Structure 1
Amino acid sequence: MTIYQHFRPEEKEFIDQVLNWKNIVEDSYAPKLTDFQDPREQEIVRSIIGSQADVKVEWFGGTLASERKRAFIFPDYFQYEEDDFQISLFELDYPKKFITLEHPQVLGSLMSLGLKRGKFGDILVDEDRIQFFVSQDVEEYIGSQLESVGRASVSIRKLPLANAIQSKESWQETSVISSSLRLDTVISAIYNLSRQKSQIYIQQGLVKVNWTLVENAAFECREYDMISVRGFGRSKIISLEGKTKRDKWKVTVGKVK
């Protein structure tokens, strides 16, 4: 049995990358800092490196509540500090009296700069205030290139991480029963929808898993997956608790209140 059997086929490339990071740290006795990872990627890294004796890993995304985080992989004797994660915080300045900006617009504008998603952490929104975390190696480029979001002209200000907007989002944990781990059945269980409706939402491009559009109803869900259905909010799979006597899955999920 190989390590790949524990993960999705499409995750093989990322798994190979994690194994390479581990080998680099072991061979060079030097730490390795990754780009921002979503919760599913963090779980893959944790599975591969988390129990190693000689190589350790820690995550940080700008705040303790961050969802997207950078992994710092290091020899067991290395003493890391927050600065080692090389994260910068920016706040948008724009004509707030005349324009309303939302999370998707900000992400779209950042991605249009030609950088990988991994260079950006969480986007924080509090009424008309908008902040985002970035990898320090691209902050100058972003500062010179980001001139508009949607129809609004914008500028950005760098702030200390301590000035980050504190998330007001809270998660309510609950258990659901799903006949399988297919995306359509899991969505049906979480949001109390018929399977037919879940399939329609998936086919219409209204469903994302780990921030990626998924249009395959048979997509298999795993622990730590983040699921969003437009109009119904976000949820996350906290753990798979095994099967019931009727061969159905008992799933612990978190839903945004």
Structure 2
Amino acid sequence: MAAAVSSFAPQISRVKSIAASLNRFHHHLKTLSCSSRGMCLVAHAAKSGGSGGGDASAKNIVEMARRASIRKEILHTDFLTPPVVNETLLTLGKLADIKAVSQGGYPQAERCRISVGHPEIMTTIPDVVAALSISGNFGFEPCSHGDFLGAILGTGIVREKLGDILVQGEKGAQVLVVPELVEFITSALDKVGNVSVTCTQIPLLALEYEPPKTKSFKTVEASLRVDALASAGFRISRTKLANLISNGDVRINWSPVSKNGATLKTGDIVSVSGKGRLKIGEIVTTRKGKFAVELIQYL
């Protein structure tokens, strides 16, 4: 038995040697991946929730805000979708010991980060958004919003680290990101679609965006219900609008509407899937008790 075991000794020794070499090689690769282009930093940043962490829900952000207020510090969310931004700001606005500021990089930004803290320390607005310019020869091969988004996510980061993407046709695109990923994205992003690109950081003041095109008109309605104003604004029947509401295709200020009788007010944004967006302008009560409402439609 001992002789049989000893006969396999050389093979066992070689297996151990190979295993040790593989372990060293794996460690070497891991070290390289951590040092090259900041991948370990990116992995950490992609998983963490900005400076505050947590899930991107209004409830969790409010909890984060309370923690920031008690500790007298400033915390930041990742980029949030419009519904979460709206709901969070409405909730935080009711709390006296918390100040919240949203930033998306430019006035019409949809995806924004929210900074929260005690009013005493929120004396200046923190700089939590950076801008990148992605340029290349897009004249012969135009790329869409999805192309740019897919290319950036393909570097290994998550969507919450990106804000709006401003597509500029032949010029490429401008992208809003969290500042801690600027260096990584500028070095890692080298192609969008089949187009080789150069990615550089630019000042927020260099962003090129156009105010949304709109047209306005007035309607006179017996009530300020969403089914009345939205049907007039989008020129569809109330029956069809009711069906859209039932299907979850209608939102007020980016939050889903569940009832036809939801009341609208000046400044509210109504969006209908496949139809676009509508803003409620000035509301004037007529002598007959009806409502003359300015409707502003985004084109």
Identity in percent? 21
Report the counterpart of residue 128 of structure 1 in structure 2: 170
Report the counterpart of residue 75 of structure 1 in structure 2: 118
Name the TM-score, length of structure 1 as normaliser: 0.67
CA distance in 1, matches of 2:231, 2:154: 34
Does the 8 A contact of 2:216 with 2:295 survive in 1? yes
Report the counterpart of residue 80 of structure 2 in structure 1: 37
Structure 1 residue 179: Cα displacement? 11
- The number of aligned residues is 236
Report the counterpart of residue 107 of structure 2 in structure 1: 64
Q: Residues 175 and 125 (structure 1 numbering): CA distance in 2 closer, same or farther, change over 3 Å?
A: farther
Q: 1:85 aligns with which of 124, 127, 130?
A: 127
SS of 1:76 mapped into structure 2: coil
Letter of the aligned partner of 1:169 in structure 2? P
Specify which structure has the bigger relative contact order, considering alpha-carbon pairs within 8 angstroms and separated by 6 or more residues: 1
Structure 1 residue 155: Cα displacement? 2.2
Larger Rg, first or second structure (1 or 2): 2
Q: 2:203 aligns with which of 145, 148, 160?
A: 160
Structure 1 residue 198: Cα displacement? 8.0
Report the counterpart of residue 96 of structure 1 in structure 2: 138
Letter of the aligned partner of 1:96 in structure 2? F
Letter of the aligned partner of 2:65 in structure 1? K
Report the counterpart of residue 187 of structure 2 in structure 1: 144
2:89 is aligned with 1:46: yes
Q: Residues 39 and 192 (structure 1 numbering): CA distance in 2 closer, same or farther, change over 3 Å?
A: same
Could you list the runs of 5+ residues in structure 1 that have no partner in the other structure?
1-11, 242-249
2:151 is aligned with 1:109: yes
CA distance in 2, matches of 1:50, 1:31: 16
Superposed CA deviations along residues 179-203 of structure 1, whole A, max 9, x for unmatched, are 9869xx998664334689889999x
CA distance in 1, matches of 2:158, 2:268: 22
Q: Residues 167 and 57 (structure 1 numbering): CA distance in 2 closer, same or farther, change over 3 Å?
A: same
Q: Residues 199 and 217 (structure 1 numbering): CA distance in 2 closer, same or farther, change over 3 Å?
A: farther
Q: Residues 254 and 78 (structure 1 numbering): CA distance in 2 closer, same or farther, change over 3 Å?
A: farther
Which of the pair is proportionally richer in helix?
A: 2
Structure 1 residue 119: Cα displacement? 1.3
Report the counterpart of residue 25 of structure 1 in structure 2: 68
Name the TM-score, length of structure 2 as normaliser: 0.59
Does the 8 A contact of 1:39 with 1:226 survive in 2? no
Structure 1 residue 40: Cα displacement? 1.9
The 5 Å alignment of 1:150-189 reads 150-172=193-215
Q: Residues 127 and 101 (structure 1 numbering): CA distance in 2 closer, same or farther, change over 3 Å?
A: same
Does the 8 A contact of 1:125 with 1:165 survive in 2? no
Letter of the aligned partner of 2:185 in structure 1? I
Aligned residues: CA RMSD: 4.5
CA distance in 1, matches of 2:156, 2:112: 20
SS of 1:154 mapped into structure 2: strand
